[in-house]
Amino acid sequence: MHAVVSRLFRQAQIWTAIALVLVAGWAFVAWMTLDMAHPFIRSMMPLDAAWSGTTAVSVFAMWGGMMVAMMLPSAAPMILTFDSVERRNAASGQATPRSLVFAGAYLLVWIGFSGLAAGAQWALQAGAMLTPMIVSNSDGLTAGLLFLAGLYQLTPLKQACLRHCRTPHGFLMAEWRDGVRGAFRMGLKHGLYCAGCCWALMLLLFVAGVMNPVWIVFLTVVVALEKWPRLPIGLTRLSGAALLFAGAAILL
């Protein structure tokens, strides 16, 4: 009985870490979408492309907080599987820093994506294609993003990245590396596969609004469902067709 309790306690450590990061991420998302009168939140919504240094940092923080909140739920099965394998391999069965390194490397990829997304926001604002609420005000941009996401859903690259994300044990068996550096490389590689799955869907935040909490939750659920192992792969193609139809409807 003592061994069972001890094992459950050790497993709860990684669950607690993931839960704390998720709560912090979604608390940030809730704050930025519901308290837009706050000066810091207003700095995330520049009126034009004449950004100050403070504005750039605020926009980057906004994207970084969103990406952590949106992508960590879909990565949780991979992180928990890694931790389970790591505990079995450890001589004492104790938690090791490698699980945290793996998760941190995964999130680092999406922090990098946040920088690119902030740059895209600046470029779109420079082209007068976004409102201060960070919503597309151009039918061409909206349709283009929908077409881009829809077409990417149908590509072999999307399917290949998705297969790696949907099979945690298969990924870890193929990519396993020892040491802290090995955990970092595995987390980074999983993050890159995840970004390969989801980058086009994340750009759809510009369609209905980066500050739209319903849209943020909807995209989070879509991404998580895509990575569910039992979900038929054909549903990804169906969603691609729906996005293409939506893009065509806007143009017509």
Map out the domains of the chain as residue ranges. 2-251
Residue at token pair 């017509």: 252
Amino acid, single-letter form, for residue 193: Y
pLDDT value for 133: 85
Among residues of the chain, what percentage have pLDDT more than 90? Answer: 62
Q: What is the pTM of this model?
A: 0.89
pLDDT in tens, 153-184: 999 999 999 999 998 999 999 999 988 999 99
Q: Does residue 5 contact residue 12 with C-beta atoms inside 8 Å?
A: no
pLDDT confidence of 10, banded at 50, 70, 90? low
And the tokens for 41? 């939140």
pLDDT value for 48: 85
Q: Does residue 164 contact residue 75 with C-beta atoms inside 8 Å?
A: no
| E-assigned strand segments in the chain | none
Q: What is the mean pLDDT of the chain?
A: 89
R_g over Cα of the chain = 20
Which residues pair with residue 136 across a beta bridge?
130
**Greater confidence, 6 or 213?**
213
And the tokens for 128? 């007068």
pLDDT in tens, 123-159: 999 999 998 889 999 999 999 999 999 999 999 999 9
**d(Cα 220, Cα 210) in Å, to the nearest integer?**
13
pLDDT confidence of 102, banded at 50, 70, 90? very high
Q: Does residue 133 contact residue 209 with C-beta atoms inside 8 Å?
A: yes
pLDDT value for 2: 46
C-alpha distances in Å from residue 176, one per residue of 57, 85, 102, 107, 198: 36, 10, 11, 19, 23
